[in-house]
Amino acid sequence: MAGLPGLLGRLTAAEAERSLPQPAPEGLDRLLARAAAHRSRQRVRRRHRLLAVAAVVVLAGAGAGIGVAVQPGSTPSRVVTATQGDVHATARLRPAAGGTAVELRLSGVDAGEHCQLVAVGRAGQRADAGSWVASYDGAAGIRGVTAIAPADLAALQVETMTGRTLVTLPVNP
């Protein structure tokens, strides 16, 4: 191995170029055509999903405290809100690889409170989705992820580390 750099140093650019395998032109054309067809199928599937979500929203109507935001070319996200006592929470949910991504805005929490976001599935299973300490003004903005899929998510709960529930956000009641 020690002599390899010296041997490679004697190799000219033309010799190196001749030694590399050249791809067959028809193989590259076939690969590019397959990639274009795949992109086209993905665009059609995305449009169909967005149309299905829009149809469900129109047919179902708006639920109390629950909304759906869909932007063309984006993954549908769902916004849920809840207030319990002085605590107000808004969460934006969107499908993520293997579960649900959550963006939570929270206010009215005692300053310095150690909190956790718990996702509750329809079958009653619980999964941690994040934890934090409320800022000096009792507000927080966190991002978390849970392994529970959006369709299987019954609620989000903001709890203290001692298990006291501060607010519950119904997702799929």
155 Cβ contact partners less than 8 Å away, ≥ 6 residues apart: 119, 120, 168, 169, 170, 171, 173
Instruction: Count Cα atoms within 13 angstroms, Cβ side, for 3.
Output: 1
Nearest-5° Cα angle at 56, 52 to 60: 175
* Collapsed DSSP state (helix, strand, coil) of residue 76: coil
Query: Would you state the structure tokens that stand for residue 153, as one six-digit string?
Result: 């998510």
Residues 112, 68 contacting (CB under 8 angstroms): no
pLDDT at 155: 94
pLDDT digits (tens, 9 = 90+) for 114-144: 889 999 999 999 998 888 888 777 778 889 8
pTM: 0.56
The closest of 15, 33, 31 to 23, measured between CA atoms, is 31
pLDDT digits (tens, 9 = 90+) for 10-69: 777 777 767 666 666 667 677 777 777 777 777 766 665 655 555 554 444 444 344 444
